């Protein structure tokens, strides 16, 4: 079980202007930690949203921001020297399943080269724990549900998934060679306030408020294991003190390596929700009907995702639990607060 101590540590967090990195950094700061946050502010989506997130974090004197790309090894190394981190949480990278069909090189640059630079930093600074963001997409063509960490993940369907699985493999080798305690967590469809504009919830709410149709892929037959962002952050915080040791399994569900202090952990509740049910929830929260543009599956999409939460529960005593209705309602409230009546950010 995770301990609740470890106050006042120095964290190096990548991607702090991003959706999840922002929420994690804000939580760590509220818990009394020093956060050295780095972000590249790439224009994958509206940079104003990234700037607004970082501006909130910069109100804390314990937040130390840096603008740099993961691929810039020299800048990243210099910032890590300044941070002297006790814990590294690597969240930055090129996100998006569908965008990997359009700009594959971005995934190689950020998720492979960038992650390699983080591993080199961990090799140099020997943090007590290195934590890395992976994705449920690594399960690819697997059909056994729910997805368990001990299942093979050898059939990625997109370059995004392949780049994240490759990052996991690189991290395992570094954990073995240099004895770096490492946890890679696989996220399952994270959503909530301050979310990315390219994600379904943001796009559906924006289009519905504007009276525009929303694209519903797979004819609405898909389902996802949605994870509310605050539940995700709670899990990451809990996992921070769950230091992996090679060959020391906590249960039969443990993915711990026999030759390295390395494990992968799902962060998902194991309660998938159908896409049409998700849309109905959005309609209820907005008080208006959505216009649906039904489309076939896109290349790289999977019909369903479902996480086995058993290992997460064993390690931390918790699992994501926020209901879709509560989570979507909170997102809608944030969206309406953040955007003015003309649809533009109020604090841009």
Positions marked catalytic: 160
How many C-beta atoms lie closer than 10 Å to residue 62's C-beta? 17
H or E element that contains 134: strand 129-135
Looking up tokens 């841009």 gives 348
Residue 331 contacts by C-beta under 8 Å, 6 or more apart in sequence?
191, 192, 193, 195, 201, 202, 205
193 and 229 Cβ atoms separated by less than 8 Å: yes
Q: In Å, how far are 2, 78, 80, 121, 169 from 117, measured between CA atoms?
A: 29, 12, 11, 6, 14
Q: Tell me the C-alpha distance between 275 and 243, whole Å.
A: 36
Residue among 223, 134, 214 at smallest CA distance from 170: 134
116 and 166 Cβ atoms separated by less than 8 Å: no
Size of the chain, expressed as the number of residues it contains: 348
Q: At what angle do helices 200-209 and 275-286 cross, to 10 degrees?
A: 40
50 and 128 Cβ atoms separated by less than 8 Å: no
Longest dimension (CA), the chain: 57
Q: Tell me the C-alpha distance between 123 and 298, whole Å.
A: 39
Q: For residue 287, what are its two tokens?
A: 């008080």
Residue among 119, 140, 141 at smallest CA distance from 130: 119
Exposure b/e, 63-92, CB count within 10 A at least 16 = b: bbbbebbbbbbebbeebbeebebbbbbbbb
Query: Burial of 1 by CB count in 10 Å (0-12 exposed, 13-18 middle, 19+ buried)?
Result: exposed
């Amino acid at each position: 079980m995770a301990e609740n101590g470890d106050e006042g540590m120095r964290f190096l967090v990548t991607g702090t202007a991003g959706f999840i990195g922002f929420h994690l950094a804000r939580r760590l700061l509220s818990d009394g930690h020093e956060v050295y946050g780095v972000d590249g502010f790439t224009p994958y989506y509206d940079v104003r949203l990234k700037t607004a997130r970082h501006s909130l974090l910069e109100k804390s004197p314990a937040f130390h921001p840096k603008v740099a790309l993961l691929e810039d090894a020299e800048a990243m190394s210099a910032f890590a020297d300044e941070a002297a981190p006790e814990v590294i949480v690597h969240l930055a990278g090129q996100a998006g399943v569908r965008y990997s069909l359009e700009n594959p090189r971005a995934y190689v640059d950020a998720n492979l080269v960038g992650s390699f630079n983080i591993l080199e930093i961990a090799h140099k600074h020997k943090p007590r724990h290195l934590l890395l963001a992976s994705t449920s997409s690594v399960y690819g063509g697997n059909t056994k549900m729910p997805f368990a960490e001990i299942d093979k993940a050898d059939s990625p369907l997109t370059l995004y998934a392949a780049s994240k699985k490759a990052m996991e493999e690189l991290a395992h080798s570094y954990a073995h060679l240099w004895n770096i305690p490492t946890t890679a967590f696989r996220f399952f469809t994270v959503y909530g306030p301050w979310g990315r504009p390219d994600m379904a919830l943001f796009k559906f709410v924006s289009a519905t408020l504007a009276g525009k149709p929303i694209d519903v892929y797979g004819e609405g037959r898909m389902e996802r294991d949605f994870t509310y962002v605050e539940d995700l952050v709670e899990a990451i915080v809990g996992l921070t003190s769950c230091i992996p040791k090679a060959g020391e399994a906590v249960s039969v569900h443990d993915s711990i390596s026999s030759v390295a202090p390395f494990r992968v952990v799902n962060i998902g509740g194991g309660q998938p929700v159908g896409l049409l049910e998700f849309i109905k929830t959005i309609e209820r929260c907005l008080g208006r009907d959505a216009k649906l543009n039904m489309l076939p599956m896109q290349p790289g999409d999977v019909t369903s995702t479902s996480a086995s939460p058993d290992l997460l529960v064993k390690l931390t005593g918790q699992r994501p639990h926020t209901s879709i209705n509560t989570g979507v309602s909170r997102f809608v409230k944030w969206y309406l607060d953040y955007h003015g009546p003309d649809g533009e950010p109020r604090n841009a």
